[in-house]
Each structure stands twice: as C-alpha cells, then as structure tokens.
Amino acid sequence: MRRHDSFSASLFNRLGGRKYLNAAERRRFLESAQKLAPRERLFCEVLAWSGARISEALALTPASIDIESGVASILTLKRRKRGIVRQVPLPRDTLRDLNRVFKLRLMQRDPELAVERLWTWSRTTAWRRVKEVMAAAAITGTPAMPRGLRHSFGVNAFQSNVPPHLVQRWLGHASMRTTAIYADVIGPEERSIAARMWK
C-alpha cells in the first residue's frame, strides 16, 4: 500500500510553495495562450477552463463537445473504475472557437471522424507546449506545470463560490475530502476580513 503524506493531498509543497496558479498567473497564462496558433491556444484554454488532466484533454473528440449544452464530456482517466465521464461547462467563446477551428458540427455528423482525437499530439508534446506558455507568461516554479492549471481551476471555483459538490464533479474526484483541499486557499473575502486588522 502506498504511503500518503499530508503534502500529497495539499496545494503546497514541503517548503510552503504553491502548486497552483494564482489569479494573476492564470490571467497571464490565458493572455500568453492568445498568441499561439488556434489549436494550441484552444488546448491551453480547455485545460484552464475545464480542470482536465493533460491526458484527459488529449482524449477529447468532436463527440465529446456538446456545443448546445455548452459542455465538454471528459473521460476520467485516473479512477480505478473505467468509463466514468464528467460534464464540465466551458465558456461560450471557447466553444465557438472549438467549433470553428475543428469544424465540430461537421465532424460530429461522421461516425468515424466524431471519435477522432482533437489534438493528436503525444502527452510529452502537449506538456511541452503548456510549459512554453507558462514561460512566456513568466510563471515559474512548481505551479508552472499543466497540473498547476488543474489546481488553479479548483481554487478559482471555490473562490467564485461554486458549490463544493459541483467542484468535486467537475474535477472527477471520488471523495469530497480530495476536493476540500481547494477550500483551504485564502480567497478575496478572507483577505478583506484580515484587512480589517490592518487599519
């Protein structure tokens, strides 16, 4: 049985460094992604807005994107039980661009094309592209990884007052205990309460 310490279920490393992108870094990441070719940009946007793991985003197909409902159906790849799909809402602009760039509606009409991967890169290539955007956005250290985007998604969801059960569902966690780590990050409300002491 694998030993889990408190740092494996934490958003901070052993030295107290963050594993997630803060709001300013997240914004810079998305701004830097705007300079990429459309397919690369959309991959970065899907990672940032869905909380998907890099391999889960790479597994997306035209059939995975429901433009009318505004969701991506993400096959959860880390759970022991196979075939678990979670639906995660995506911004309308991202959905519109996915449809335009990948011709989703057209691809969805063809049974063979509908199940072809949108991004045919290897996991290593995708990881490298995300790292390049992180570097261009001046994001360094532990957060500057694709996993930092997933953690940032969870933190952002809690700080935006998304109900915990939805955060759990969107991230594909089996346990609410795993999701609860995202609630431990100080948000704007907590900071404004602390600011009362500084007057």
Tell me which residue of 173, 59, 168, 161 sits closest to 120, measured CA to CA.
59
Report the alpha-carbon distance of residue 103 to residue 167 in Å, rounded.
30
pLDDT of 16 > 50? The answer is: yes
Which whole number is the average pLDDT over 138-146? 95
What's the pLDDT band for 184 if we cut at 50, 70, 90? confident
pLDDT of residue 32: 98
Query: What is the CB-side half-sphere exposure of residue 4 using CA atoms within 13 A?
Result: 5
Report the alpha-carbon distance of residue 195 to residue 199 in Å, rounded.
7
Percent of the chain with pLDDT strictly greater than 90? 74
What residues contact residue 198 under an 8 Å CB cut-off, 6+ apart?
A: none
pLDDT of residue 192: 75
- Domains belonging to the chain, first-starting first, are 23-198 (1.10.443.10)
Q: Which two tokens stand for residue 13?
A: 């490393």
Rg value, the chain, Cα: 17
What's the pLDDT band for 8 if we cut at 50, 70, 90? low
With residues binned 3-state (H G I as helix, E B as strand, rest as coil), the percentages for the chain, rounded to 5, are 55, 5, 40
Report the alpha-carbon distance of residue 49 to residue 44 in Å, rounded.
9
Q: In what order do the strands lie in the sheet with 65-66?
A: 65-66, 71-75, 85-89
Report the greatest alpha carbon distance in the chain: 64
Q: Which two tokens stand for residue 50?
A: 């869905």
pLDDT of 2 > 90? The answer is: no
Taking only the tens place, the pLDDT of each residue in 41-85 is 999 999 999 999 999 999 999 999 999 999 999 999 876 677 899
To the nearest whole number, what is the mean pLDDT of the chain?
A: 91
- Secondary element (H or E) of residue 83: none
Which whole number is the average pLDDT over 136-148? 95
- Secondary element (H or E) of residue 168: helix 164-171
Triad 65, 69, 71: Cα angle to 5°: 45
Q: What is the distance, to the nearest Å, from the Cα of residue 70 to the centroid of all Cα atoms in its chain?
A: 16
Triad 163, 75, 52: Cα angle to 5°: 55
pLDDT of 124 > 60? The answer is: yes
* Least confident interval from 7-11, 114-118, 133-137: 7-11
pLDDT of residue 195: 83
Q: What is the distance, to the nearest Å, from the Cα of residue 38 to the centroid of all Cα atoms in its chain?
A: 18
